[in-house]
Amino acid sequence: IEAGEEGGRRLDMEGALTARDRVGIQDFVLLDETTEAAFLSNLKKRFSKDLIYTYIGTLLVSVNPYKELDIYNKKQMEVYMGVNFFELPPHIYALADNAYQTMLTEYNNHFILISGESGAGKTEASKKILQYYAVTCPSTTLLNTVRDKMLMSNPVLEAFGNAKTLKNDNSSRFGKYMDIQFDSQGDAVGGHILNYLLEKSRVVHQNHGERNFHIFYQLVEGGEDDLLHELGLEKDAQHYNYLTQGECAIVSSINDRNDWKTVKNALQIINIDEINTNHLFGIVASVLHLGNVQFDSDSKGHALLNNNTELRWVSNLLGVDAQSLQEGLTYRKIEARTDQVLSPFTIDHAIYARDALAKAIYGQTFTWLVNRINESMENKDPSRKTVIGLLDIYGFEVFYVNSFEQFCINYCNEKLQQLFIQLTLKAEQEEYEAEDIEWEPVQFFNNKIICDLVEERHRGIISILDEECLRPGDATDLTFLERLEDKMGNHPHFVTHKLADKMTRKTLERGDFRLLHYAGEVTYCVVGFLDKNNDLLYRNIKDLICQSKNAIVRECFATVDPDSRRRPETVATQFKSSLLKLTEILMAKEAWYIRCLKSNESKQPGQFDEALIRHQVKYLGLMEHLRVRRAGFAYRRKYDVFLKRYKPLCPATWPHWRGVPADGVEVLVQHLGYLPYEYKMGRTKIFIRHPRTLYATEDAYEKCKHELATRLQAKYKGYRAKGEFRKQKEAATKIETCWRGVQARKEREKRAWAVKVIKKFIKGYMTRGQAKCTDNSEYLAFVRQNYLNRLKNTLPKTVLDKTTWQSPPAVLTEFLLCLFCLVRHQNYCVNFTTFQLKLLTSSIFKGKKESYPQSVAQPFVDTRIKEITSNQTQLTVLYSVFLQYSIPVIKYDRKGFKPRPRQLILTQTAAYVIEEAKIKQRVLYTSLKGISVSNLTDSIIVFHITCEDPKQKGDLVMQCDHLFEFLTKLCVIANKQNAVKVVQGSIKIEIQAGKESAVDFTTGQEPMVYKAKNGHLMVVR
Ligand SMILES: Nc1ncnc2c1ncn2[C@@H]1O[C@H](COP(=O)(O)OP(=O)(O)O)[C@@H](O)[C@H]1O
Ligand SMILES: [Mg+2]
């Protein structure tokens, strides 16, 4: 609620706007047409979905669902608590909270008027409001006791003031106005109750299907044996005349025994002590006994008492003299100037006097009870309080026969309608004034004329009734009617049989008068008006009662001065003045309304009796109310609020309006095409005349909202994607930077190294002439190697020709000189073939096989086997004639890799394997396709031999101590320089054609050669 902005007067409408298509319309003010049909259809639509609450502006319409709805729990209360209920559906808690919040912010008084037919849910509504405050207001232990008293006053008042009627099993038979007082913090600190017009006649008479007040049945059914004994009561409601006229003393829907316990407990909480409690039940019991007092008539037709026991109980319980009581019930004391004459009653008179007594003491006791409750709830702290008043009062009543009670009740509603008109119009007018908008007279019916008809001094119906009651002589109900006809003859809202035209006359009895109330016509039957208005207690009985020993009774009647000759005020006049007071109380407060409707007569859930509801809508004046609400402008909102909601509808105001909100609204509505008569611009608010204008705007807004949402969504998605991209890009850049850093550092290291090397080179160059030192050692080594490498390719043809040698660098001059001298000295031609062989070895193995460096220093020899003695001529010839080189080897069997010592002889065309001077195998160089050795320090040699026939032997695996010498010789002899492969890991071998194995190499502590489990030859170095 925009409490601050709207003065809390107007419930929020935006929630209603967005929800209007869901289930009916949440606020009738927004109905497009204000017809009864549209009204009912909306109500029905909502009721069918258990939506029992609907607003008319601030007024809450409630339809009795006759079933428990799950909308009154603590969670719901919290939902509505202090919330600006922008989108919340109508609820009684919303109204209660709204009133409460407004009270707190504006520090003023409020009242909630709850009206409706009997059974429509007024009392339930007022309890729900009370519960809401009890739960949601701040609490302390002290406050909790006040709160308990307020809550517990209900069961007590309901026991004494409610009864089962045809319409409601718990019908309140009195009007109730309760003030809840709050301190400035919003704590409920006290309460006060005013009661109106208890239906006392029920004490002595009930219609069929109805009961007396609950307390009688509760006492009889639930009262403890001792108590009942003390009160002289039977534990049986059927025993009592006052309880059985309706013939429904026991009803299944009411648990009198349980209620009795609740009431007894509640009495304690509202501080009624044991003595008073006993007095109170004494009075209740005395009424029951009174009802059983019967009369006979004597021969002259005078009433006689026929049962003394009941009378004795009454005198006992009320603490009055039995004899005097008997006299009071059968005689009337007539005072003639100085004398007092006793005039005997007829039976009818006696019964009338008895009933009058019963009604009087019960009625007074009820008032006493209310006073006691007030005392217990009273807040004695003098600081200022604000209040919220709850008025739970009977709505218009129209029966087949309407009597004095209905007259009073309908008069009361007439007054409340008048109050509503005054308050609403006042509020509207004030707002127009505040907003500087020209006041347009509102077309609606003002019921002041009817109020005047009833209550005007000397001229109104009540005055005439009182006059008839006071008039000496034979005043009767009919003479009263005649007086009315005389005085009201031409009043437009008053009609009788005599005054009516022909058509109307048919609908009226002779003893009827008809009032045209604002809510509709009601025909009253005048019978009983005078008696009921007089409500007389005979003088002698009243005197007697004043001396009662029952403290409550004495207190109740003490206010009536027994010596006063003045007649007490009549019932109607009392009612009129109490209503006047109520009006004054209410006029000073801000009003909230709850109108309760009954959905059907049979208290069934889910039934929407359209005729019945139409009737109530009419008699509660809801259409009238709606018209007043709608009279000027249906909708009004602060400029900033209006602009905030609808600004997306106009490019000039979206997304921001930089100027004054009022100008923004003007631009906005111009853009929307509002016509001049459709709206007005106030000081702070825009006023919109018809709901349809607003609807069009709202519809546009709804549509635009979706588009906007899509746009926002797209924007957002784009934004998200962009963010993601940016993040990825940042990550990429970061990685790149790191990588570049790494690269740069590497590059720097490399350059630094290069600088160092170049520096060293230069230094070496510069110091090349000096003795070998750290500065030049590397340079010199480089120069030396360079020279020798060059020398290798340009070796001189004759070693003795010193001049053809390439000029050596300084470091080598001496060495070469020595070499040269040595050669010459020995006269020996250096076998440069050996040197060339070594160079060949180097080119094949250097940097490839680990054992190579150790071999460099070992000189090669011509052959390793000095002689062979064999009787094989072939071998002898081979050895002596064709031998190029020979060497002992260890050959490994192809099957088990057994080591066998052998000799190998190389000739110009083949290699021969010799065992003990026998040729075992010949390997032609042409079939030797490759030679493999490992890169390690072992001396294993594998001959890969072309092998097409499985019968042929496969590859040859050997171990040879002079591996480098042997292979170098082989390369030279067989021209196989390119056939030698230095292999890493293992060497594949062919054991025979198509059957493969391998030689695996590894390092270990001890050198070994063995056949491994996988069938390979394992060589460990
Ligand atoms: N909001 C409600 N939810 C459920 N039942 C309700 C509600 N209001 C009223 N009733 C039912 O209707 C009955 C009559 O309500 P009550 O408030 O006593 O009527 P009233 O005071 O107007 O005569 C209640 O006893 C209850 O069964
Ligand atoms: Mg009630």
The predicted-structure confidence for 821-865, as pLDDT tens digits, reads as follows: 655 544 444 454 777 888 889 999 998 999 999 888 888 888 888
Please give the Cα distance from 333 to 345 (Å, whole number).
10
CA–CA–CA angle 677, 678, 683 (5° rounding): 90
**Ligand 1 site-directed mutation target among 64, 91, 619, most atoms within 8 Å of CB:** 64
Main-chain phi, psi angles of 217, to 5 degrees: -70, -35
CB contact set of 412 (below 8 Å; sequence gap of 6+): 175, 196, 197, 393, 394, 575, 579
Q: Which ligand is nearest the CA of 67, by number? A: 1
Tens-digit pLDDT profile for residues 602-612:
999 999 999 99
Burial of 120: CB neighbours in 10 Å, binned 0-12, 13-18, 19+: buried
- Verify whether ligand 1 is closer than 6 Å to residue 50 (CB atom): no
Q: Which residues contact 503 (CB under 8 A, 6 or more apart)?
A: none
- In angstroms, what CA-CA distances link 279 with 30, 230, 283, 325, 549? 56, 12, 6, 19, 10
Q: How far apart are CA 4 and CA 13, in angstroms?
A: 15
595 CB less than 6 Å from ligand 1?
no
Q: Is 116 in the pocket of ligand 1 (CB under 6 A)?
A: yes
pLDDT top residue among 992 and 134: 134
Residue nearest to atom 26 of ligand 1 (CA): 66
- Centroid of ligand 1 to alpha carbon of 583 (angstroms): 26
CA 815/CA 824 separation, integer angstroms: 14
Q: Where are the beta strands (DSSP E) in 627-773?
A: 635-638, 679-681, 685-688
Spatial contact of 541 and 359, defined as CB atoms under 8 Å apart = no
397 tagged catalytic = yes
Any atom of ligand 1 within 6 Å of the Cβ of 168: yes
The tokens for 864 are: 């390793």
pLDDT of residue 628: 73
CA dihedral (141, 147, 149, 151) in degrees, to 10, reads: -140
- Report pLDDT for 867: 81
Please tell me the total number of residues recorded for the chain in this structure. Answer: 1021
* pLDDT over 90 (residue 204): yes
Q: Which atom of ligand 1 is the closest one to the Cα of 120?
A: 22
Residue 139 CB: number of other CB atoms within 10 A?
Answer: 14
Kindly tell me if the per-residue pLDDT of 246 is higher than 80: yes
Structure tokens at 961: 């101590």
Q: Does 1 score more than 90 pLDDT?
A: no
Vertex 653 angle, CA 647 and 654, to 5°: 75
What pLDDT digit, counting tens, does each position of 395-432 carry?
777 888 899 988 999 999 899 888 988 887 777 778 88
pLDDT of residue 744: 93
> For residue 740, what pLDDT is reported?
93
pLDDT at 796 over 80: no
Amino acid in the structure at residue 954: G
Give 296's contacts (C-beta < 8 A, 6+ positions apart): 303, 304, 305, 306, 347
> With 80 as the cut, is the pLDDT of residue 39 above it?
yes
Q: Which residues contact 36 (CB under 8 A, 6 or more apart)?
A: 614, 617, 618, 623
- Strands (E) in 502-621, as ranges, are 512-517, 520-525, 590-597
One of 98, 115, 168, 776 is an active-site residue; which one?
Answer: 168
Find the mean pLDDT for residues 527-540: 88
Ligand 1, atom 6, residue with closest C-alpha:
66
Q: State the DSSP H helix or E strand holding residue 903, giving kind and residue range, or none if neither.
A: strand 899-906
Q: What is the pLDDT of residues 611-660, one digit of tens each?
A: 999 988 987 778 877 877 776 777 788 898 889 889 888 989 988 899 99
Strand partners, 605: none
- Catalytic site residue 447? no
In the residue annotation, 171 being an active-site residue is answered as yes
Tell whether ligand 1 has an atom less than 6 A from the beta carbon of residue 64.
yes
Report whether 53 contacts 61 (CB < 8 A). yes
**CB of 124 shorter than 6 A to ligand 1:** yes
Ligand at minimal distance from the CA of 172 is 2
Among all bound ligands, the one having the nearest atom to the CA of 170 is 1
Instruction: For ligand 1, atom 14, name the residue with the nearest CA.
Output: 119
> Across the beta sheet with 494-496, what order do the strands follow?
494-496, 512-517, 520-525
Which residues, other chains included, contact 63 with Cβ-Cβ below 8 Å and sequence gap of 6+?
Answer: 43, 47, 52, 596, 597, 598, 599, 608, 613
Task: Give the contacts of 769 (CB within 8 A, at least 6 positions apart).
Answer: 810
Ligand number, closest to the Cα atom of 165: 1
pLDDT per position as a tens digit, 890-938? 999 887 889 999 999 999 889 999 988 888 888 989 889 899 999 988 9
- Beta carbon of 153 within 6 Å of any ligand 1 atom: no
- How much is the pLDDT for 11? 39
Asked if 113 contacts 592 with a C-beta cutoff of 8 angstroms, the reply is yes
CA of residue 171 to ligand 2 center, whole Å: 5
Neighbours of ion ligand 2 (CB under 5 A): 122-123, 172
Closest of 280, 259, 258 to residue 271, by C-alpha: 280
**Can you read off the two tokens belonging to residue 188?**
């409920």
Helices (H) and strands (E) in the chain, counts: 36, 31
Q: Which of 119, 328, 682, 764 is catalytic?
A: 119
Decide: 109 and 103 in contact? Cβ < 8 Å. Answer: yes
Look at residue 4 in the predicted model and tell me its pLDDT.
Answer: 36
Which residues are part of a known binding site for ATP? 116-123
Specify the ligand 1 atom closest to the Cα of 392.
21
Report d(CA 521, CA 515) in Å as an integer: 6
C-beta 102 within 6 A of ligand 1: no
Place of tokens 């053809």: 804
Nearest to 314 by CA among 287, 277, 296: 287
Please check whether residue 386 is in contact with residue 109, taking contact to mean a CB–CB distance below 8 angstroms. yes
Q: Whose CA is nearest to atom 5 of ligand 1?
A: 66
Average pLDDT for the chain: 87
- The residues, ordered by sequence, that sit 6+ positions from 329 with a Cβ below 8 Å of its Cβ are 293, 295, 303, 305, 311, 345, 350, 353, 354, 357, 541
Nearest CA among 707, 672, 717, 671 for reference residue 693: 672
Cα atoms in the 13 Å half-sphere on the side-chain side of 393: 31
171 Cβ closer than 6 Å to some ligand 1 atom: yes
Which comes out higher in pLDDT, residue 790 or 555? 555
Where is pLDDT greater, at 656 or 992? 656
The residue whose CA is least distant from atom 15 of ligand 1 is: 121
Query: Catalytic site residue 175?
Result: no
- CB contact at 8 A, 28 and 61: yes
Is a pLDDT exceeding 50 seen at residue 20?
no
73 is catalytic: no
Quote the radius of gyration of the chain (alpha carbons, Å): 63
